Amino acid sequence: MTPTDDRPKPEDPIQTDTRGQRIARRVTQGLLIVMLLTVPAAIYERQWLTAFLILCILGLCLVPSMFGRRFRVRIPAEFELLTVLFIFASLFLGEIRGYYTRFWWWDIALHTSAGFLLGILGFLLAYVLNGHESIEMHMSPFFVALFAFCFSLAMGALWEIFEFGMDQFFGTFMQKGLVDTMWDLIVDTVGAAVIATSGYFYLKTGKEHFLERWISRFVEANPRLFRSE
């Protein structure tokens, strides 16, 4: 760590959104508006549970931005879009619009994607811990990969608990039996294992990898997290 002086440090530079980020934010806003517009129709048809669930979904979609403001972490627009898109596809289209029963592959595709995305998120969290100089934690590539794998599986298990709770308290049918739940966990594991293995070899070899672009986007958006104090 380089010596520091008593001069005040400049604030982080103002981040200017790129064209891709602006598009991602507009798509995110569009998805939220689509879901919001269905609430009056559900209320008019007296589908109270549907209206309530859509409002809960909207609240869940706002969690990333609320988390970012609370902990002063700037979440790139692409990350927010992927989060909202997954919630939109899984809860709104899957549960409210019945895509899980209309398309047999919908559930498998979403849970596999969730394994990938949560594995990437696990890598980002481990990278933040390793990269922040005020935190005395330095994990080897193996343990970074293991953390990403376990993080993804833990989130997948919490999702199944959430589905169970919704079925028990609100009479939904999100968990469609033991076999469905086990296949959800299996494809979550496959997605997490692919990302963990891929990320391990990236950290070991340093060769060009798509994870590098994701990490770079997060670091560029949050220079404060990686600046020496």
Helix (H, G, I), strand (E, B) or coil at 103: coil
Quote the percentage of the chain above a pLDDT of 90: 7
Residues 178-198 have pLDDT tens digits of 888 899 899 989 988 988 898
**Model confidence over 103-162: pLDDT tens digits?**
988 988 888 888 888 888 888 777 777 655 544 556 788 888 898 899 989 988 998 998
Cα-based angle 87, 91, 95 (whole degrees, multiple of 5): 165
Could you tell me which of 105, 113, 111, 89 has the C-alpha nearest to residue 35?
89
Q: How many angstroms separate the CA atoms of 178 and 184, rounded?
A: 10
Q: Where are the alpha helices (DSSP H) in 45-140?
A: 48-61, 63-70, 77-87, 99-102, 106-131
Q: Tell me the percentage of the chain whose pLDDT exceeds 70.
A: 81
pLDDT in tens, 87-105: 889 888 888 888 988 998 8
Q: What is the pLDDT of residue 7?
A: 42
**Cα 18 from Cα 3, distance rounded (Å):** 35
pLDDT of 166 above 80: yes
**Radius of gyration, alpha carbons of the chain:** 20
Please list, in sequence order, all residues whose beta carbon lies within 8 angstroms of the beta carbon of residue 30, skipping any fewer than 6 positions away. none
Q: Is the pLDDT of residue 3 over 70?
A: no
Residue 71's pLDDT is what?
A: 63
The single residue listed with the structure tokens 């692919």 is 194
Which tokens in the block code for residue 196?
């963990």
Q: What is the pTM of this model?
A: 0.71
pLDDT at 17: 61
In angstroms, rounded to a whole number, what is the distance separating the alpha carbons of residues 49 and 191?
Answer: 32
Highest-confidence segment of 121-135, 166-180, 202-216: 166-180
Closest alpha carbon to 155 in 191, 115, 196: 115
188 sits in which H/E element: helix 178-205
As a residue count, the chain comes to 229
Instruction: Specify the pLDDT at position 11.
Output: 46
Decide if pLDDT at 1 tops 50. Answer: no
